[in-house]
Structure 1
């Protein structure tokens, strides 16, 4: 049997060199087209997904024009901005919450304003407080990043005190309800007293700050009650008016998208109020909370884009996965379609679903903060 080694032994050195060169060239020539063919094949496969996404985007873009009726809610400092869209047209944009919502919350934020100045200078003082075991030590290390003994907090805290004093001086002419004025007075006066004390001492500790926060907390609760009442009244009045404008048939199909930052997306205040005004048979699928990293530059476009995805996926789920309803439900919801398969392969289980437990207060159409009952 002629092996490659034996064959090479029968030819001249020059002939062997020529043979090797030709063999290597042939091997390279045959390998090059294979690599090119593989890339072309894989690119062709990728193009399938690209084509799907183009078709999906085209459907979504057209669907946005037909979404109706829709209310888009932008959470903001004044209780929310509401936009009604009907038959593809923005009918009205309203900030419906009475002004004292913003004013009550503004003063209720005073302790947080002080904390935000002193937090970086906490150093090792947190273990002095009762709930220290509830604070992640690593989180604390990242927040309290200033060198112990640093006095950089004094200037910004004095500046904040000037702001507080201006509000305190002008408060009597703000024409607030008496109970709200009194609670605001307490918060502002106690805050300035605390600032004066620690600035004079050139030092602070968390025990003293906690004592101040506990002193003003009852007044903060009063402000929260006023803010909640204002928001309930304003939103429900607006929703009642829009319900009359659209008529019961259209209102029963209403979609509401609520945009908020992640930290306020669970049990969002606007969502709690709005859900009571909607068709209760559809509210769980038609009231959609959209947590965002930050307020988008075009909230309405973002809301409608997401809603269009949801609506078209709801229909696609039942058509594409009609033989596997569990997968269909995943496409209709927040789950990734691969989540179950991944859980199987890693031997894990899905985390327990977090549902919005509104409790007896919601069931009885009662505000969980104020105890007031309202209906639309």
Structure 2
């Protein structure tokens, strides 16, 4: 049974997917038996014929989607990245791509990431924290065991930490020349000073522990908050300026139909900062249905194609839902939403194991 569309965040070409059941063939010796007298052969032939219905359906759906992609618009595709987002407008078959956010965003986040950079090096060598530490009760012991897979008994971290310390020291020496706003420069200076000090002390002692690391990071909470404030301000201003320009460019007649697809890794997808900003510039009546947050395992090689491929599924299913299921609101909503068509029935059967036992596979 064909169910609710799947999102292929790693797709690299439209219609290039292979589906289960698309290449089912009979065993090589099936033809050596008389089909009329061999129940197994008849069953295989019958099932293959039935599978062909879905195979053809998927092939025709792929063809529809490929043609629909060429006609989508206006669409804004947002690739969430370290620069605040790469924005692409697709309209009337043309594309324009822009990084609208100024360098202050990246500068503020780069410095704020310094403690995370240190963590990335020392994490495999962490010890189990004291239960007296503020966050110890929220740590999953199994997660900690998987992350701290080497433990504190080795000094393999020393070289990488020294190298990162040199990067931090170079940034600290030149922070005044970056011409950042005064408050951002001050908070960044304190973050870099503390980070360099932690690295130097850990290298000098040839050891560190969770207690000393949390003491270092905890003291930077306010300064990291300042950097986040400046990053957010820069992102809002840059994206807002671009969206206003594109709104004027697209025109009042077409803008209400705008779709926005935001691609990001799962850990930044709900809510994603770009989604929050762009929603303010969309038609409020359609924003909830026309703003698509698409989580990907990794940034795709062609984010615009991936976004349009998924959007083509959504748009096609919006029409299919109302025409294929005109009398069943529940099934129609499932087809054109994120819910799988079979999901509710699975929930019902799991809740009541004796429901519809006759339909279960044997």
Q: TM-score, normalised by structure 2?
A: 0.86
Q: In structure 2, the residue corresponding to 1:139 is in which secondary structure?
A: helix
Q: Is the 8 A contact 1:64 1:305 kept in 2?
A: yes
Q: In structure 2, the residue corresponding to 1:71 is in which secondary structure?
A: strand
In 2: Cα distance, 1:50 partner to 1:115 partner: 49
C-alpha distance after superposition, 1:233-276 (max 9, x if no partner): 00000000000111112111100000000110001000000000
Alignment-derived partner of residue 334 in structure 1 = 338
Asked whether 1:84 is paired with 2:82, we answer no
Q: In structure 2, the residue corresponding to 1:231 is in which secondary structure?
A: helix
Question: Mind listing any 5+ residue stretches in structure 1 that lack a counterpart?
Answer: 1-27, 349-376
Pick the aligned partner of 2:145 from 122, 136, 141. Answer: 141
Asked whether 1:73 is paired with 2:78, we answer yes
Alignment-derived partner of residue 112 in structure 1 = 116
Pick the aligned partner of 1:246 from 250, 253, 256. Answer: 250
Asked whether 1:62 is paired with 2:67, we answer yes
Alignment-derived partner of residue 124 in structure 1 = 128
Q: Is the 8 A contact 1:128 1:207 kept in 2?
A: no
Alignment-derived partner of residue 324 in structure 1 = 328
Note the aligned Cα RMSD (angstroms): 1.4
Asked whether 1:49 is paired with 2:46, we answer no
In 2: Cα distance, 1:167 partner to 1:188 partner: 8
Residues 331, 30 of structure 1: alpha-carbon distance in 2 compared, 3 angstrom cutoff: closer
Residues 126, 112 of structure 1: alpha-carbon distance in 2 compared, 3 angstrom cutoff: farther
In 2: Cα distance, 1:263 partner to 1:83 partner: 22
Report 1 or 2 for greater relative contact order, CA contacts < 8 Å, sequence distance ≥ 6: 2
Q: Is the 8 A contact 2:36 2:42 kept in 1?
A: no
Asked whether 1:290 is paired with 2:297, we answer no
Alignment-derived partner of residue 181 in structure 2 = 177
Displacement after TM superposition at 1:119 (Å)? 1.1
Q: TM-score, normalised by structure 1?
A: 0.83
In 2: Cα distance, 1:69 partner to 1:29 partner: 58
Displacement after TM superposition at 1:128 (Å)? 4.9
Asked whether 1:235 is paired with 2:239, we answer yes
Displacement after TM superposition at 1:65 (Å)? 0.9
Q: Is the 8 A contact 1:317 1:332 kept in 2?
A: yes
Q: Is the 8 A contact 2:269 2:293 kept in 1?
A: yes
Q: Is the 8 A contact 2:260 2:292 kept in 1?
A: yes
Asked whether 1:223 is paired with 2:202, we answer no
C-alpha distance after superposition, 1:319-341 (max 9, x if no partner): 10111101100011101100111
Alignment-derived partner of residue 213 in structure 2 = 209
In 2: Cα distance, 1:30 partner to 1:234 partner: 69
**Equivalences for residues 143-162 of structure 1 within 5 A:** 143-162=147-166
Alignment-derived partner of residue 356 in structure 1 = none
In 2: Cα distance, 1:47 partner to 1:104 partner: 56
Residues 148, 175 of structure 1: alpha-carbon distance in 2 compared, 3 angstrom cutoff: closer
Greater helix share, structure number: 1
Residues 148, 108 of structure 1: alpha-carbon distance in 2 compared, 3 angstrom cutoff: closer
Larger radius of gyration: 1
Displacement after TM superposition at 1:178 (Å)? 1.2
In 1: Cα distance, 2:301 partner to 2:249 partner: 29
Q: Is the 8 A contact 2:35 2:42 kept in 1?
A: no
In 1: Cα distance, 2:54 partner to 2:130 partner: 53
Pick the aligned partner of 2:259 from 248, 252, 255. Answer: 255
The aligned length equals 320
Displacement after TM superposition at 1:124 (Å)? 2.4
Q: Is the 8 A contact 2:127 2:209 kept in 1?
A: no
Alignment-derived partner of residue 39 in structure 1 = 44
Pick the aligned partner of 1:98 from 102, 110, 116. Answer: 102
